Amino acid sequence: MVRAPSLALKRPSVLPGFGLSLGFTLVYLSLIVLIPLAGLVLKTAELGPAEIVHIITDRRTVAALKLSFGAAFVAAAINAVFGVLVAWVLVRYRFPGRRLFDAFVDLPFALPTAVAGISLTALYAPNGWIGSLLAPFGIKIAYTPVGVVIALVFVGLPFVVRTVQPVLEEFDREIEEAAATLGAGRWKVIARVMLPSLTPAILTGFALALARAVGEYGSVIFIAGNIPYVSEIAPLLIVIRLQEFDYSGATAVALAMLVISFGILLAINFIQAWNRRRYRND
Partner 1 sequence: MTDALLPANLNLPLHAGRPVTSETPFVRWLLIGIAVLFMIVFLLMPLITVFGEAFASGVGAYFDAISEHDAWAAIKLTLLVAAIAVPANLVFGVAAAWAIAKFNFRGKSIINTLIDLPFSVSPVISGLIYVLLFGARGFLGPWLDRNGVQIIFAVPGIVLATIFVTFPFVARELVPLMQEQGKLDEEAALSLGAGGFRTFMRVTLPNIKWALLYGVLLCNARAMGEFGAVSVVSGHIRGQTDTMPLHIEVLYNDFSYGAAFAVASLLALLALVTLAVKTALEWRYADELAAQRRH
Partner 2 sequence: MDAPVRIAMKYGLREAHRPPPSPTWGLPVDVSIENVARAFGETPALNGVSLSILSGELVALLGPSGSGKTTLLRILAGLDVPTAGRVLFGEEDALKLTVQQRHVGFVFQNYALFRHMTVFDNIGFGLSVQPLRRRPAKAEIRTRVMELLDLVQLSGLEKRYPSQLSGGQRQRVALARALAIEPRILLLDEPFGALDAKVRRELRRWLREIHDRTGHTTVFVTHDQEEAIELADRIVVLNKGLIEQVGTPDEIYDRPASPFVASFIGETNALPVNYESGRLYLDDRPLEIGSGSGPDGPRMLVFRPHDIELLASRPGGIAGRVIAERRHGAVRRLEMEIGMRRHRIEIDVPADHPKTRKGDRISVLPSRWWLFDAPRAGA
Q: Do residues 224 and 143 lie in contact, with contact meaning Cβ atoms separated by under 8 Å?
A: yes
Q: For residues 125 and 162, what is the distance between their CA atoms, to the nearest angstrom?
A: 30
Q: Which is nearer to partner 2, 180 or 264 (CB)?
A: 180
Q: Which is nearer to partner 2, 113 or 197 (CB)?
A: 197
The option from partner 1, partner 2, none interacting with 108 (CB < 5 to 8 A, set by class) reads partner 1
Q: For residues 118 and 135, what is the distance between their CA atoms, to the nearest angstrom?
A: 19
Shortest spacing between CB 174 and partner 2, in angstroms = 4
Instruction: Return the half-sphere exposure (C-beta side, CA atoms, 13 A cut-off) of residue 229.
Output: 3
Q: Which of 37, 182, 195, 267 binds partner 1 (CB under 8 A)?
A: 37
The option from partner 2, partner 1, none interacting with 279 (CB < 5 to 8 A, set by class) reads partner 2
Q: Which stretch binds partner 2 (CB under 8 A): 29-37, 71-79, 150-158, 183-191?
A: 183-191
Q: Do residues 44 and 254 lie in contact, with contact meaning Cβ atoms separated by under 8 Å?
A: no
Q: Which of 175, 227, 259, 267 binds partner 2 (CB under 8 A)?
A: 175
Shortest spacing between CB 178 and partner 2, in angstroms = 4
127 binds partner 1, rule: CB under 8 A: no
Shortest spacing between CB 68 and partner 1, in angstroms = 9
137 binds partner 2, rule: CB under 8 A: no
The option from partner 1, partner 2, none interacting with 162 (CB < 5 to 8 A, set by class) reads partner 1
192 binds partner 1, rule: CB under 8 A: no
Q: For Cα atoms 161, 165, 170, give the angle at the middle one, nearest 5 degrees.
A: 165
The option from partner 2, partner 1, none interacting with 267 (CB < 5 to 8 A, set by class) reads none
Q: Which stretch binds partner 2 (CB under 8 A): 31-39, 68-76, 127-135, 194-202?
A: 194-202
Q: Which of 137, 170, 173, 279 binds partner 1 (CB under 8 A)?
A: 173
Q: Which is nearer to partner 2, 138 or 174 (CB)?
A: 174
Q: Which stretch binds partner 1 (CB under 8 A): 53-61, 135-143, 165-173, 272-280?
A: 165-173
209 binds partner 1, rule: CB under 8 A: no
Instruction: Return the half-sphere exposure (C-beta side, CA atoms, 13 A cut-off) of residue 50.
Output: 0
Binding site for partner 2 (CB under 8 A): 172, 174-175, 177-185, 188, 192-193, 196-197, 199, 278-282
